[in-house]
Amino acid sequence: MADILTLDGLTKAYPGVVANDAVSFGIAEGSTHALLGENGAGKSTLVKMIYGLVRPDAGTMRLAGAPHAPHSPKEARAAGVGMVFQHFSLFDALDVAENITLGMDTPPPRSELAQRIREVSRAYGLPLEPARIVGTLSAGERQRVEIVRCLLQSPRLLIMDEPTSVLTPQEVRLLFDTLEKLSDEGTAILYISHKLEEIRALCDHATILRGGRVVATCTPADHSAAELAEMMVGARLTAPARIARDPGDAVLTLDGVALPATHAFGTALHDVSLTLRAGEVMGIGGVAGNGQDELLAVIAGERRAAAGRVTLAGRDITRDGPDARRRAGLLTAPEERLGHAAAPAMSLTENALLTAHERKGLARHGFIRWRATRDFARAVIAAFDVRTPGPGQAAQALSGGNLQKFVIGREILQAPVVLAVNQPTWGVDASAAAAIRQALLDLASDGAGVIVISQDLDELTEVSDTFAALNAGRLSAPRPMRGLTMEEIGLMLGGVRGEAA
Amino acid sequence: MDLSVISPTLLVASLMVASTPLLLAALGELVVEKAGVLNLGVEGMMIVGAIGGFAIAVETGSPVAGFVAAAVAGAALASVFGVLTQFLLANQVATGLATTLFGLGISSLMGQSYSGIRPPATPRLDLGPLGDLPFVGRVVFGHDWVVYFSLLLTFAVWWFLNRSRAGLTLRAVGENHAAAHALGIKVVAIRMAAIAFGGACAGLGGAYLSLVRVPQWTEGMTSGAGWIALAIVVFASWRAGRVLLGAYLFGGVTVLQLNLQAAGVALPVEYLSMSPYLITIAVLVLMSARRRGAAAAPASLGQSFHASQ
Which one of A157-166, A457-466, B73-82 scores highest in mean pLDDT? B73-82
Tell me how close the Cα of B36 comes to any Cα of chain A, in angstroms.
13
Q: Which of B40, B84, B42 is nearest to B203 (CA)?
A: B42
Residues 6+ apart with CB under 8 A from A287: A138, A139, A140, A166, A167, A168, A455, A493
Question: Chain B: residue nearest A70 by CA?
Answer: B184
Question: Chain B: residue nearest A14 by CA?
Answer: B308
Is A102 close to B298, i.e. CB distance below 8 A? no
Distance CA A79, CA A52 (A): 11
Which residue from B179, B184, B298 is facing A72, i.e. has the nearest CB? B184
CATH number of A3-233: 3.40.50.300
Look at residue A242 in the predicted model and tell me its pLDDT: 66
Measured between alpha carbons, how far apart are the two ends of chain A, in Å?
40
How confident is residue A166, by pLDDT bands cut at 50, 70 and 90?
A: low
Is B295 close to A74, i.e. CB distance below 8 A? no
Distance CA B127, CA A114 (A): 44
Task: Give me the domain span that covers residue B71.
Answer: 19-226
Interface contact A92, partner B, CB < 8 A: yes
Same fold, A3-233 and A253-494: yes
Look at residue A143 in the predicted model and tell me its pLDDT: 83
Name the percent of chain B lying above pLDDT 70: 97
Residue B27 within a domain: yes
Give residue A45's identity as a one-letter amino acid code: T
Position with higher pLDDT, A482 vs A167: A482
Query: How many A×B Cβ pairs under 8 Å?
Result: 58
Which of 227-266 (A) contact B at CB < 8 A?
263-265
Question: Chain B: residue nearest A86 by CA?
Answer: B179
Residue B171: pLDDT over 90: yes
| Domain covering A253-494, topology | Rossmann fold (3.40.50)
How confident is residue A501, by pLDDT bands cut at 50, 70 and 90?
A: very low
How confident is residue A500, by pLDDT bands cut at 50, 70 and 90?
A: very low
Per-residue pLDDT tens over the stretch B250-296 = 899 989 888 888 888 888 888 888 888 888 778 877 877 765 544 57
Bridge-partner residues for A398, per DSSP? none
Q: Which of A450, A423, A489, A470 is nearest to A165 (CA)?
A: A423
Question: By the 8 A CB rule, do A212 and A23 touch?
Answer: yes
Which stretch of A108-112, A212-216, B164-168 has the lowest confidence by average pLDDT?
A: A108-112
Is B168 close to A52, i.e. CB distance below 8 A? no
Which residue from B168, B295, B299 is facing A102, i.e. has the nearest CB? B168
Position with higher pLDDT, B173 vs A265: B173
Question: Chain A: residue nearest B184 by CA?
Answer: A73
Which one of A170-179, A297-306, A317-326, B93-102 scores highest in mean pLDDT? B93-102
Residue B152 within a domain: yes
Per-residue pLDDT tens over the stretch A43-89 = 888 998 999 888 999 999 999 888 999 988 888 988 999 988 766 57
Sheet holding A3-14, edge to edge: A17-28, A3-14, A58-63, A66-67
Q: Which of A421, A409, A414 is nearest to A381 (CA)?
A: A409
Which residue from A74, A85, A92 is facing B175, i.e. has the nearest CB? A92
Look at residue B98 in the predicted model and tell me its pLDDT: 97
Which residue from B182, B294, B298 is facing A263, i.e. has the nearest CB? B294
Per-residue pLDDT tens over the stretch A225-284 = 888 888 887 777 666 666 666 778 899 999 999 998 877 667 889 999 999 999 999 999
Work out the average pLDDT over B83-94.
94
Is A94 close to B171, i.e. CB distance below 8 A? yes
Distance CA A276, CA A444 (A): 11
Look at residue B309 in the predicted model and tell me its pLDDT: 47
Tell me how close the Cα of B24 comes to any Cα of chain A, in angstroms.
26
Residue B118 within a domain: yes
For residue B55, the Cα-to-chain-centroid distance in whole angstroms is: 20
Look at residue B292 in the predicted model and tell me its pLDDT: 54
Residue A36: pLDDT over 50: yes
For chain B, the average pLDDT equals: 90
Interface contact A54, partner B, CB < 8 A: no
Look at residue A300 in the predicted model and tell me its pLDDT: 93
Is B183 close to A89, i.e. CB distance below 8 A? yes
Residue A1: pLDDT over 70: no
ipTM for this model: 0.79
Which stretch of A56-65, A348-357, A477-486, B92-101 has the lowest confidence by average pLDDT?
A: A477-486
Tell me how close the Cα of B294 comes to any Cα of chain A, in angstroms.
8
Best mutation site among A102, A134, A152, A161 for testing chain B: the one with the most B CBs within 10 Å? A102
Residue B176 within a domain: yes
Per-residue pLDDT tens over the stretch A404-426 = 899 999 999 999 999 999 989 87
Q: Which of B308, B181, B305 is nearest to A51 (CA)?
A: B181
Number of domains, chain B = 1
Give residue A426's identity as a one-letter amino acid code: W
Question: Chain A: residue nearest B169 by CA?
Answer: A102
- Residue length of chain A: 501
Which one of A86-90, B27-31, B225-229 scores highest in mean pLDDT? B27-31
Residue B7: pLDDT over 90: no
Interface contact A136, partner B, CB < 8 A: no
Look at residue A237 in the predicted model and tell me its pLDDT: 65
Which stretch of A221-230, A296-305, B159-168 has the lowest confidence by average pLDDT?
A: A221-230
Look at residue B158 in the predicted model and tell me its pLDDT: 96
Q: Which helix (H) or strand (E) holds B49?
A: helix B42-60
Question: Chain B: residue nearest A103 by CA?
Answer: B183
* Domain ranges (residues) in chain A: 3-233, 253-494
Contacts of B178 in chain A (CB under 8 A): 88
Per-residue pLDDT tens over the stretch B174-205 = 999 988 988 888 999 999 999 999 999 999 99
Question: Chain A: residue nearest B171 by CA?
Answer: A94
Neighbours of A104 (CB within 10 A): 15
Tell me how close the Cα of B125 comes to any Cα of chain A, in angstroms.
39
> Residue B211 class from Cβ within 10 Å (0-12 exposed, 13-18 middle, 19+ buried)?
buried
Look at residue A496 in the predicted model and tell me its pLDDT: 45
For chain A, the average pLDDT equals: 86
- 3-state SS assignment for residue A384: coil
Side-chain half-sphere CA neighbours of A84 within 13 A: 30
Residue A468: pLDDT over 70: yes
> Which ranges constitute the DSSP H helices of A80-124?
96-102, 110-123
Best mutation site among B163, B171, B175, B190 for testing chain A: the one with the most A CBs within 10 Å? B175
Tell me how close the Cα of A89 comes to any Cα of chain B, in angstroms.
4
How confident is residue B18, by pLDDT bands cut at 50, 70 and 90?
A: very high
Is B176 close to A91, i.e. CB distance below 8 A? yes
Position with higher pLDDT, A415 vs A400: A415
